[in-house]
Amino acid sequence: MYLTLPREKSRYWRVFWLCFLLAAALFLPHCIADALQGGGYFHYAGDFNDQQINFYQYANAFVKQGGSFSWATDLGSGFVNSYSFYLLGSPFFWLSLWVPSRLMPWMMVPLLCLKMALAGGGAYRWARRWVRSEDWTMVAGCLYAFSGFTVYNIFFNHFLDVVALFPYMLAALDDAALDGKRGPFPFWVALNLINNYFFFAGQAVFLVIYFLCMLAGRVYKVGPRTFASLVWETMLGCAMGCVLLIPAGLSLIHNPRTIDPYNGYGYLLYGNSQQYGAILYSAFLMPDAPYFRDMFQEGILKHTSMTAYLPLVGIVGGIAFCRGRRAHPFTYILKTCIVCAFVPVLNSAFYALNSSYYARWYYMPVLVLCGATAYTLERPHLAERQ
C-alpha cells in the first residue's frame, strides 16, 4: 500500500531548484515590464500592492528599530497583535531581515520563488512514500508548487508561506505513524502554528481527517502506545507554537468578526445556487483573478481562494485514482473533502465555524490530489480496474 522511504537517492534539491527556476521564469516577464514602465519591481494589484509589499517593508524597519507598539497600524495597536497573522511568525519574513527595508519591494519576487521551491520540495518529500517512480514523484512536487491555489494566492503573498510549510508537517506525520520516527513532527507542528495561527486551525481539522482516513484504509496501524506518542508530540508542538497564538488570541477574543455563526438552513445550504457551480468549476478550470468574477457572477467568489486546479491535468487524475483505488486512504480523503466543500458548516469547520465563506483550506486536499495524480500517471491502466 505504501513505500518505506527511499530506494533511490533523494531528488529533493533537484525539485527545489526546478521549481525555483520555473517560478523565476513565471515572474521575470512581469518584472521586466514593470522596470520598463519605471516601477522597477513586481506589481500585481489590490492587496499585494497596497498591503503585502508595504507590510514587509514596514515590519522590516520596525523590528530592526526594536519597536513594540505601532501608531502606523490601524489607529495604534500592538505590533504582535497586528502582524502575527501576516508575517511575524513567518520564517520567510525573518530571512528577509538580512535585506535593508528600502530594498524589500525588490525582494518580494525572490521570496515568492523561494516559497514555491520549498512547496515543491515539500510535496515531493511527502509523495515519495506513495509514488514508486522518482520521476512521477517530482511531477507531484511541481504540480503542487504551481497549482491553481498557489498561483491564485500570489495576490495574498503570506498565504504561500502556509502552502510551502504544510507538506513537511504531513510528511512528518507519516514518518511518525508509519516508521515510528520521533522528533520532526512536533517541530513542524510548532513551525506551522507560529507561521499562521488562522491557517493552523484548518490544518488541525485536515490532519484529523487524514489520520482517520489512513486508519480506515488500514495504512496506519496505530496501537495504544503509538497513539499516545502521537498525541504527546501534537501537544508538544502546539505548546511550542503558542508564542504568537496567545497574545494574538487575547487581542482577537472580543472581535465581533470572530463570532459569526450560521442561521437555520445556512448550516447546510449556500444562499446562492451559483456557489455550487463555482465550487465544481474550481476543480476543472484555471481560477479567475482573485478580484474578478468570470463565469459565475453571483455568490461569494472574489478573494476566496476557491481553486483546486492542477496544471495540464486538472482533477482528471484524481477521478481516475478514486475509480481505480476505491479503498485507498487518498480516495477517502478526497471524497470527504468534496463533501466538506459543498456543505457550508463543514467548509467553515476549517475556520472555527465562522459563516464567512472562504476556500483557503483547499491547498491541503490539493496536495493529496497531486499525490493521487502522480500515482495514476505512473500506472496508466489504473482506472480500468474495478
pTM (2 d.p.): 0.93
Say if residue 364's pLDDT is above 90: yes
Which of 17-21, 207-211, 242-246, 307-311 comes out lowest in average pLDDT? 242-246
Please report which helix (H) or strand (E) contains residue 56, including its range: helix 53-64
**What confidence score (pLDDT) does residue 294 get?**
73
CA distance 269 to 255: 26
CA distance 368 to 370: 5
**What confidence score (pLDDT) does residue 244 get?**
85
- Give the number of residues written for the chain: 386
313-356 confidence digits (pLDDT tens): 999 999 999 999 999 999 999 999 999 999 999 999 998 888 88
Identify which of 251-260, 278-287, 360-369 has the greatest average pLDDT: 360-369
**What confidence score (pLDDT) does residue 70 get?**
65
Say if residue 254's pLDDT is above 70: no
Grouping H, G, I as helix, E, B as strand and the rest as coil, residue 78 is strand
CA dihedral over 84, 85, 90, 92, signed as positive or negative: negative
Amino acid, res. 6: P
**Rounded alpha-carbon distances, angstroms, from residue 140 to 8, 94, 98, 167, 198:** 17, 29, 32, 12, 26
CA distance 10 to 124: 9
46-90 confidence digits (pLDDT tens): 888 888 888 999 999 888 887 666 666 666 667 787 888 899 999
Dihedral angle at the C-alpha atoms of 211, 356, 238, 62, nearest 10 degrees?
140
Residue spans per domain, the chain: 25-384
187-246 confidence digits (pLDDT tens): 999 999 999 999 999 999 999 999 999 999 999 999 999 999 999 999 999 999 998 888
116-169 confidence digits (pLDDT tens): 999 999 999 999 999 999 999 999 999 999 999 999 999 999 999 999 999 999
Which residues, 6 or more positions from 53, have their beta carbon under 8 angstroms from its beta carbon? 104, 105, 108
Contact 144, 123 (CB under 8 A): yes
φ/ψ of residue 258, rounded to 5? -80, -15
Contact 321, 329 (CB under 8 A): no
Looking at the chain, which runs of residues are DSSP E strands? 69-70, 77-78
**Rounded alpha-carbon distances, angstroms, from residue 26 to 18, 20, 30, 113, 366:** 12, 10, 8, 9, 21
**What confidence score (pLDDT) does residue 195 get?**
96
Average pLDDT over residues 176-190: 95
Query: 234-238, long-range: CB within 8 Å, 24+ apart, which pairs?
Result: 234/185, 234/186, 234/189, 236/186, 236/189, 236/190, 237/185, 237/186, 237/187, 237/188, 237/189, 237/190, 237/193, 238/189, 238/190, 238/193
